[in-house]
Amino acid sequence: MDEVRKTPWAFLDSWRGKKFTGEWPTLPEMFEITVERFPDRNCLTVFEPDRITLTYSQTLAAIQKLAGWLTAHGVKKGTHVAVSGKNSSEWAIVYLSVLYAGGIIIPIDYGLHDYEIVSLLETAAPLFFFVDEEKYPYFLEESKKQSFIGEVYSLSAKYQDRFMRHLDAKPLSTYIPLQENDTAAILFTSGTMGHPKGVMLSHKNIVSDCYIAQLNLSIFETDVFYALLPLHHSYTMVAVFIESISVGAEIVFGKSIAVSRMLHELKEGKITMLLGVPLLFNKLLAGIMKGVRSKGIIVYGIIRFLMAISYLVKKTTGKNIGKTLFKSVLEKANLTTLRIAISGGGPLSKEVFRAYNEFGIDFVQGYGLTETSPIIALNPKDHFKIESVGRYFHPYMEMKILDPDENGRGEICAKGPMIMQGYYNMPEETAEVLSEDGWFRTGDIGWLDSEKYLYLCGRAKNLIVTSGGKNVYPEEIENAFQMYYNDIEQITVMGYHPAADLTSEEIEVLVYPTDELYKTLNFDRGTSAGDSAAYKKIEEIVEIVNKNLLPYQRITKITLLDTPLEMTTTKKVKRYDGRL
């Protein structure tokens, strides 16, 4: 009992049996508990460009109004409703309103091509489709030809007659009763392997993961989360949106990763929680370090020395002196209010991880997949390991390494309340990854240490086998290039067969250099002289990296790309069948 009382969700006991009857509340039950706790706290905020904020009680009123319209127009338990758009209060209200009406929400990537969205809608067959202004006209017309798209309504006030906030009906006084094991959302994976699947997540999956993750990270109603990455993705959906409303925190919706707009919103929103992917944090750090270097070699050397001291003090005493030492640096980057930064969506270079901690920012990594709701490991800020993607949530879930090799590396498997229900209408694919007793095979290769910290190697399907029979994981090599963010915008490692030898592979890197590199070299991209100079610079970087790699990991071929490769919305290169 002592352990239960100490959990981050212990406060729920005051509502157990009154507001909810399951082990975990449903999402509507959870939201109403938060409204009862913090009715007047800020809930949803946007800058367009002026600040517009809804409190928790105002957000509930908007949800009940739209939920009333949805139920009056045919939405009932299990009805599919799709939403696709930029991050906004309207997106969040649609999401929760559908659940209040008993439906299943289908968030769709707004960055997909129209034909890709049509394909997903054909699979999901929603009754309604709420879509943002740029794509609204197309889908309104398309819905007249294809009935599976559903009735189309706008997330933008630009289309007043079908704007979701103008849909009037008697507000729903309370949510339609649901069970915790009912499906809440179907999320289509981004498809880095080219085949999106509809991941079915129950209310229990999402809510349990939201609270259990707080075992390794304390969040409070005074926090302000920055929703910069797309909300349709499980990482932002749960780690920002659902985490915020679980404790009564505020969400600031960012609609663009343009640096000037991001810096403005970080400052004006007084952001305390910044969640992003490695690419975002690499670029942000690049800007910080560029400013440091501009102060001259002597000042740069002093700051690097102080960064090392700051990190040593933090690791040995737990005291964070970086925020004081580097106050002016953080002020320039509008990061003074930042309490914690979290990186997910892929492993972050340990050098980047360390640099943020040196500057006094509590920086942690997490790990998970859409199928795991998504968080199943998180680095505690007071006991982090920079090479690990986090500690898994024992005893509230289990993790094991399947068929480990001599170094303990094998496929990561997880079991717990956050594991998906399965893939929508894909029983065979579900059976391939989810056992009858609840173990989920992630497809990722990694290993665990004695303290239950997880170390990630890479995707099993991306594995490269060398002539000596050694296994090489592309992600491990790609991570070695993260500190070269000023010169390399995109780098992808793959295997190639040398001299028609199909029995083994060597290592090739595909590199798309930054515009800044060409500018520094004083050449234009696409010219013979410019590309030759850029290639030479990349060769120098590869030579440096190769010295720190094991002999069988070393790169033997470099290909300079004319255009960047296609990426997912979480900034990962799309691979198809283990290849690009």
Q: What is the pLDDT of residues 436-469, one digit of tens each?
A: 999 999 999 999 999 999 998 888 888 787 766 6
Q: Is the pLDDT of residue 188 over 80?
A: yes
- Mean pLDDT over 248-263 rounds to 85
Question: What are residue 323's phi and psi, to 5 degrees?
Answer: -65, -30
Nearest to 62 by CA among 41, 40, 80, 44: 44
CA distances from 392 to 239, 397, 407, 448, 532 (A): 15, 8, 20, 10, 46
In whole angstroms, give the CA distance from residue 344 to residue 370: 12
In whole angstroms, give the CA distance from residue 356 to residue 363: 6
pLDDT of 575: 63
In whole angstroms, give the CA distance from residue 169 to residue 184: 23
pLDDT of 467: 65
Per-residue pLDDT tens over the stretch 536-565: 999 999 999 999 888 889 999 999 999 998
pLDDT of 468: 67
Per-residue pLDDT tens over the stretch 516-528: 999 999 999 999 9
Q: One-letter amino acid identity for 335? A: L
Using the structure block, give the residue that is written with the tokens 């007793």: 437
In whole angstroms, give the CA distance from residue 379 to residue 382: 9
Q: Which domains does the chain have, with CATH numbers?
A: 19-275 (3.40.50.12780), 277-460 (3.40.50.12780), 463-560 (3.30.300.30)
Per-residue pLDDT tens over the stretch 488-525: 999 999 888 876 666 668 899 999 999 999 999 999 99
Helix (H) or strand (E) holding 260: helix 259-268
167 and 87 Cβ atoms separated by less than 8 Å = no
Give residue 54's pLDDT band: very low, low, confident or very high (50, 70, 90): very high
pLDDT of 501: 61
Strands 453-459 and 390-392: antiparallel
pLDDT of 570: 66
CA distances from 561 to 204, 492, 534 (A): 45, 10, 11
Rounded (10°) angle between helices 56-72 and 27-37: 150
Strands 375-378 and 390-392: antiparallel
The mean-pLDDT minimum among 94-108, 156-170, 274-288, 318-332 falls in 274-288
In whole angstroms, give the CA distance from residue 385 to residue 455: 10
* Counts of helices then strands in the chain (DSSP H, E): 19, 25
Average pLDDT, the chain: 91
pLDDT of 177: 94
Q: Supply 102's token pair.
A: 């008993």
Q: Which long-range contacts (CB under 8 A, 24 or more apart) does 379-386 make?
A: 379/216, 379/453, 380/216, 380/217, 381/217, 381/340, 382/318, 384/357, 385/453, 386/350, 386/353, 386/354, 386/357
- Mean pLDDT over 274-284 rounds to 84
Choose between 8 and 552: higher pLDDT.
8
- Sign of the Cα torsion 137, 142, 143, 149 reads negative
In whole angstroms, give the CA distance from residue 432 to residue 436: 11
Per-residue pLDDT tens over the stretch 412-423: 999 999 999 999
CA distances from 577 to 461, 463, 503, 573 (A): 7, 11, 18, 13
Q: Cα angle at 196 between 195 and 201, to 5 degrees? A: 145
Using the structure block, give the residue that is written with the tokens 């890479």: 458
Q: Supply 252's token pair.
A: 């600031």
CA 27, distance to chain mean position in Å, is: 20
Strands 506-513 and 488-496: antiparallel
Q: Is 561 left (phi over 0), alpha (psi -120 to 50) or beta?
A: beta
CA 102, distance to chain mean position in Å, is: 26
Q: Is the pLDDT of residue 1 over 80?
A: no
Per-residue pLDDT tens over the stretch 367-405: 999 999 999 999 998 888 888 999 999 999 999 999 998
Three-class HEC string of 39-84:
CCCEEEEEECCCEEEEEHHHHHHHHHHHHHHHHHCCCCCCCEEEEE
